[in-house]
Amino acid sequence: MKSLRWRKFVDLFWTGASGAGVVLALVPLLSLLWLVVSQGVANLSFSFFTNLPAPVGEPGGGVGNGIVGTLLLVAIASAIALPVGIGAGVFLAEKGDGRAGDVIRFVTEVLSGVPSIVVGIVAYGLVVERMKRFSALAGGLALALLMVPTLARSTEEFVRLVPGALREASLALGVPKWKTSLRVVLRTAAAGIITAVLLAVARAAGETAPLLFTSLNNQYWNLQPDQPTASLTVQIFNYAISPYEDWHHKAWTAALVLLLLVGLLNMLARILSRNRMEGAR
């Protein structure tokens, strides 16, 4: 057997190596956050939030239509995905212990790994090809298809966290099952489900790939669901791959705006879930 000193050295070495893993993971994160903030802040102004994009070389201009477009797309996606995703999650938690539940749970988990670009193709076939036009509706549908599996999974998790005693107490009082599910179990799980919704919305707001050929882009304001629509993410992409220095700066600023939006949603979710946990303690 090797000497104790050698074994202790090996132990220390691997502790250090695993610590290096932490450093390697966090360095890109810090670099990215720092650059987005430092590069983005230069062009940040009130008009950047409210103006339409300006042509190359022209000063000013913003991503107002992109912000509005992203909100519109996310709203359409939520309108489709929230009922379906949450409903499916409740099904998995309440009636998902049988064979059918296992199959649906498995399909949900597999679906949540489907690449977003593939979902874009599906939305293209379902909406764009039939309407013969790129539209916010198609983009919203693509985002909805991405949101449903994640929502279903996390809703199930949160509903299952509700103590069985609560449900039993309600049933023992003679409350029918459906009312117990709706007014006792779901109400208890509500904070958790809202957290899940916020996280799903944040993820959808940051999606680019499925929007490239569904909602496309738009130079102007648009609030009509059957028209092509600008979005913050597609705008960042277009600015970034353009050959113009001026647009590169705008890409960083738009990235900062997107990061703020996504960060805000995540922070809200975090605060909500922390309150819930402290309430339970």
Nearer to another protein, 68 or 138 (CB): 138
In whole angstroms, the minimum distance from the beta carbon of 208 to another protein comes to: 4
For residues 7 and 56, which CB has a smaller minimum distance to another protein in the complex? Answer: 7
**Of residues 52 and 84, the one with the C-beta less far from another protein:** 84
Burial of 258 (0-12, 13-18, 19+ CB in 10 A): buried
Write 31-36 long-range contacts (CB < 8 A, 24+).
Answer: 33/259, 35/252, 36/252, 36/255, 36/256, 36/259
Q: Report the nearest approach of another protein to the CB of residue 2 (Å).
A: 10
Is 75 or 182 the residue whose CB approaches another protein more closely? Answer: 182
Tell me whether residue 48 or residue 124 sits nearer to another protein (CB atom). 124
Q: How far is the CB of 54 from another protein (least distance, A)?
A: 20
Q: How far is the CB of 246 from another protein (least distance, A)?
A: 14
Q: Cβ closer to another protein: 193 or 202?
A: 202
